[in-house]
Every structure is written in structure tokens, then in C-alpha cells.
Amino acid sequence: MELPLTPLEFARRSRRLYPDREAVVDGDLRFTYAQFLDRCDRWASALQALGVKRGERVAYIAPNTHSHLEGYYGVPMAGAVIVPINYRLTPDDFTYLITHSGSAVVCAHSDYLDAVDSIRGHLPHVKHFVALEGGAGRAGWYDYEALLDEANTDYSKQTLDERDLLAINYTSGTTSRQKGVMITHRNAYINVVGTLIHHHMTCEERYVWTLPMFHANGWTFTWIVTAVGGTHICVRRVDPARVFVVITRERGTMLCAAPTVLIGIANAPDEVKRGAPRGVRVLTAGAPPAAATIERIEGELGWELTQVYGLTETAPFITICEPRAEHSALGARDRAVIKARQGVELITSGELRVVDEEGREVPADGHTLGEIVVQGNVVMAGYFNDPEATAKAIRNGWFHSGDAAVVHPDGYVEIRDRLKDVIISGGENISSVEVEGAMLRHPSVQEVAIVGMPDEKWGEAPHAFVVLRPGTTATEAELREFVRNVLAHFKCPKTVRFVDELPKTATGKIQKYVLRGGRPGIAAQ
């Protein structure tokens, strides 16, 4: 008999093989695999007792906690669909996402109970509210731990189809309302297997949760770590100092880092980095890392960084910058340049092409720009309740990423920009990513965003927004000259504005549309 491809199968295997191994660390709480999956069983049973039916949605608003992690098992075990929501959003956003997803149950961490209470009047379709923490005695809320205590492990096991919905993950919504990406059990299973083929992990892995679980199901590491019997180390509040403390205390071996976290780690003060273990493996995605950032991570910390690429719509990984034997012979700088590329298809993800406006593949010359399109096993089932957006994104069987890239002669793909962010100046295409990478090599630059602004002479010209490293200085003229020395002069930013911070989504992506339109909250230094 064929079994459906579902990440729940990984839990079954690890329960049998690793019952006494440490599965989850959350502050002072520690659960073995037997204890962790027993709790997941009880949560599935509790949801069914609350009347949650097959296919109904269960929303989560929570940081990286053990109870949030348990949702990625208990909810699908009950036959339902998990809807992880970005907890950094506003109550109005919560209202939209909970309503749009049609969630029957809302589970919230104690930090967000007040926010949810403030919008209850706009959520008439929600049947139950569950406080993951801090709910004991609170009016209108079930207490999560009390529900688990009352439940048994004998839930009604569902007959799953691998094309059933597992999760609805909402996109960042940087330019429009967030869209609900429908991820199936098969999508997630394939992404887990593909990741492990290219990035080997064992039951000795101690994975540090620096990536939000709500972001594309934690890039499916909610299931990957369990698949190998590794340890989930929950980090509720992520800042560089905290990351180094947890890695050292819990003997962390691996983490995933969105751009904000990666830059923070690379530029952390020496006193914070001191004593950190070497050999930690880091996967990064979300935006192309600069070669200079990679050099700091690998050269100063002795960590190993690998870039992966994908989107929420692709479950999420499409490519990995797979190392080759010939790369080891390169110097640190040249090796970092290659590591900054998005790389090659995962064996399991499907086919990726870079195509021009006519749909023809661009030559592998490292120069000709095209759009990344993909088809295969990890592409979403579509956008929830949005057939128009689905039809726009998936055309002729190919998902269109909106990312502009080149293909190098060795077949490695390199993103040069989002299509909408390519700067066309005097008829020349300028990659904001290329200019950002050049500027990040200046020792005073911590973060930079290059955006195109209207220009009377050239139609559009690049402008830089720069965050300096603490304790350093630089002038506009100095940074412009620095870029002119390494890139063609027309790529040099016309202006440089120094700011305290760059506007970002919760997953670390810079909101360039905010910079193009101006924003009072961005204060010049």
C-alpha cells in the first residue's frame, strides 16, 4: 500500500527511533521525543474535542515557542490546516488574515492576547480562542496547557491525501495585501527531503531557532529537525547577543538566518562573539547576502555559510549554492563571491529556468538578465481564495518568481534584483544587489539599500540609504568614490543618505518601496 508523502511520517519515525533523545528546548523546559509527540497527540485530540473538522484552519500568533512548534504536528494530525501569522503585524492585519483564511480557532501567545481581544468583535466566525501561555483564568480564552491535561492521546487519526492542504502561509505583503500561499503535505515533504539530500543532518544536530517559525513554516525546519531526530532549541527573542548566548549554552550546531539576523551576527561586537563555538552551520535566504558579509561569518567566526533560494510559494527552497571541489582551491574572497550566488536546483524541487520576456532561456553568460521561473514538486497549490492572483503567478504551468537573475557558465544562478527593483538609467540596467555588494565592502558600512529614483537626465538613477557600523564614520563623497573604484561609473549612487535603520518586513527583507516614497520614521544621522 502506498503511503502519502506527509511530514507527519517523520514524526512517526522519530518517535520510534529516538523516544529518549532531547527533542525540544524552550528556556528551562526540555522534552524528549516521546514527551514532545505525546503533547502533539494530545493537542490533536483537544482540537477534535473542540469541534475542529477536517480542512478547517487554525491560526497561530506566537514567537518561537514549544507550543507553536507543537502546532505543526497537532493541527495536521487532527486533519486541520495551520495558518502561522506574523506576530509583528498590527491588530488590523490580524483581523484581515484570520478572516481571509477563515480560521475557526485562533491560538495566541500571551504577548498578543490583548491585541486579539481588541479585534474579537470583527472575528464572528472564530469558534474558539486558545491562549498558548498566560490564559489561565482569562475570560474568553481556553488555556492551552489545561486543554492538553484534559485530553488523551487517542485522537481520531485522519486518512490524509498528500495533496491535502497542510499550511496557509501569508506572503510579506510589501506592496499589496498579503496572499495566502497554499502548501500541501507533498510540497512540505519534498522540501524536507531535498534539503536533507543537499545539507546533511543527523540526530546529533542541535538546531537554534533564529528564523521565525511563521516564515514559510520555518523554511520547513519545523519538520526537518524532527526528521533526523535532532533538537529544536527555541529562541523567543532574536538579537545577536542572545543568539551567541544560546548557541554557546546549548551547544548549537546549526541555524537559519534571514538577512537581518545574518547581518547582525556578522557585525556583532567582538565581546559578544568572544567564546562562540566554531563550525556552526548557517543556511541563509530571503535576500542575496553580500560577499563581504559571508567573509565575516566564515573568516572571523569560523562558521560555514550556505545560501539557499526560494519563495513562500515554492515551499520554499528551489536552489542551493552547492559547494564543489574546485571551490576549495579559491581564495576566501573569490569563494565568497561564488557563495553569494543562489546556485543550482535541488534534486527534488523541479525544473528552474531563467527566461527572457518571450519565455526563451537566457544564455549562460553571467550577464544576460531574465526572470526565474520554476515548475515541479514544491510549487504551491495556489493562493487561497484568490484565483486571479494564482493565474497571474502560474502561467502555462510555470510559477513566475519576479526575480531577475543571470546564469553563469557553470550553471549557477545569481539573482541580480527583483524585476521591479532593476534600475534603468540612461538605457543601462543597474543591479541594486551588485551596487549594495560593492558598498558593503567598505569597513564602515553595516547595511545598505540601493533604490532607483526619477532623474531628469537619465530617467532613473541609483540612490543609496546607508546604516553605518557602530563607532565608525564615512562621508557621502567617500562612499561614492569607493563604489566608483570597483564598478562602472554609471552604477555609482547619485546620492548617499545615512539613516539609523532600514525599513524591513518581519522576515528581514528591505522595503524598497518605502525608501522610494520616503518615510518620516527614517531619521537621518
Q: Same domain for 270 and 383? A: yes
Write out pLDDT tens, residues 17-47. Answer: 999 999 999 999 999 999 999 999 999 999 9
Does residue 202 form part of some domain?
no
Percent over 90 (pLDDT), the chain: 75
Write out pLDDT tens, residues 87-136. Answer: 988 899 999 999 999 999 999 999 999 999 999 999 999 999 999 999 89
Looking at residue 308, its amino acid is: V
Question: Which tops the pLDDT comparison, 523 or 427?
Answer: 427
- Tell me which of 4-13, 145-154, 352-361, 452-461 is least confident: 452-461
Q: What distance in Å separates the CA atoms of residue 371 and residue 418, rounded to the nearest whole number?
A: 9
**Per residue in 500-520, is it b (16+ CB within 10 Å) or e — as a string?**
eebbbbebbbbbbebbeeeee
Looking at residue 229, its amino acid is: G
DSSP, res 122: G
Q: Average pLDDT in the 316-338 region?
A: 91
* pLDDT value at 173 more than 90: no
CA 367 to centroid of chain Cα atoms = 28
Q: Same domain for 22 and 134? A: yes
Residue 360 banded pLDDT, cuts 50, 70, 90 = very high
Q: What distance in Å separates the CA atoms of residue 39 and residue 6, rounded to the nearest whole number?
A: 19
Q: Same domain for 249 and 380? A: yes
Q: Same domain for 444 and 414? A: no
Question: Which tops the pLDDT comparison, 510 or 286?
Answer: 510
Q: What distance in Å separates the CA atoms of residue 75 and residue 130, rounded to the nearest whole number?
A: 13
- For position 33, which CATH number holds? 3.40.50.12780
Burial of 103 (0-12, 13-18, 19+ CB in 10 A): buried
CA 101 to centroid of chain Cα atoms = 20
Cell of 513: 518601496
Sorted by sequence, the CB contacts under 8 Å of residue 308 that are 6+ apart come out as 195, 219, 283, 284, 285, 317, 319, 320, 321, 342, 343
Start-to-end Cα distance in the chain: 65
Does residue 444 form part of some domain?
yes
Q: Same domain for 437 and 512? A: yes
Q: Same domain for 26 and 104? A: yes
C-alpha to C-alpha distances, 207 to 66, 232, 289, nearest whole angstrom: 13, 5, 21
Is the four-CA dihedral 360, 413, 405, 369 of positive or negative sign?
Answer: negative
Write out pLDDT tens, residues 375-422. Answer: 999 999 999 999 999 999 999 999 999 999 999 999 999 988 788 777
Does residue 123 form part of some domain?
yes
Does residue 311 form part of some domain?
yes
Q: Same domain for 397 and 491? A: no
**Total tally of structural domains belonging to the chain:** 3
Could you tell me which of 161, 167, 50 has the C-alpha nearest to residue 101?
A: 167
Write out pLDDT tens, residues 267-284. Answer: 888 899 988 999 999 999
User: 341 is in which domain, residue-wise?
Assistant: 238-418
Question: Which tops the pLDDT comparison, 27 or 427?
Answer: 27
- For position 504, which CATH number holds? 3.30.300.30
Could you tell me which of 288, 263, 489, 256 has the C-alpha nearest to residue 406?
A: 288
* pLDDT value at 521 more than 60: no
Does residue 397 form part of some domain?
yes
Q: Same domain for 414 and 426? A: no
Q: Which of 400, 418, 436 lies at the terminal end of a domain, its last residue? A: 418
Q: Which of 165, 187, 209 lies at the terminal end of a domain, its last residue? A: 187
Write out pLDDT tens, residues 225-275. Answer: 999 999 999 999 999 999 999 999 999 999 999 877 888 898 888 899 988
Of how many residues is the chain composed? 525
Whole-model pTM: value is 0.86
DSSP, res 300: I
Residues 106 and 130 sit within 8 Å (Cβ to Cβ):
yes
Does residue 13 form part of some domain?
yes
Q: Which of 418, 439, 467 lies at the terminal end of a domain, its last residue? A: 418
Residues 276 and 244 sit within 8 Å (Cβ to Cβ):
yes
Residue 523 banded pLDDT, cuts 50, 70, 90 = very low
Cell of 305: 555559510
Q: Same domain for 378 and 431? A: no
Q: Same domain for 149 and 277? A: no
Residues 70 and 77 sit within 8 Å (Cβ to Cβ):
no
Residues 129 and 116 sit within 8 Å (Cβ to Cβ):
yes
Sorted by sequence, the CB contacts under 8 Å of residue 525 that are 6+ apart come out as 468, 498, 499, 500
* pLDDT value at 478 more than 70: yes
Residues 354 and 362 sit within 8 Å (Cβ to Cβ):
yes
Does residue 243 form part of some domain?
yes
Task: Supply the DSSP string of 207-246, one letter for each residue.
Answer: EEE-S-TTTHHHHTHHHHHHHTT-EEEE-SS--HHHHHHH
In 13-64 the beta strands, taken as DSSP E runs, fall at 22-26, 29-32, 57-61
Q: Same domain for 242 and 310? A: yes
Q: Same domain for 291 and 400? A: yes
Does residue 214 form part of some domain?
no
Q: What pLDDT, on a 0 to 100 scale, did the predictor assign at position 359?
A: 95
Q: Average pLDDT in the 189-208 region?
A: 98
**What are the beta bridge partners of residue 180?**
170
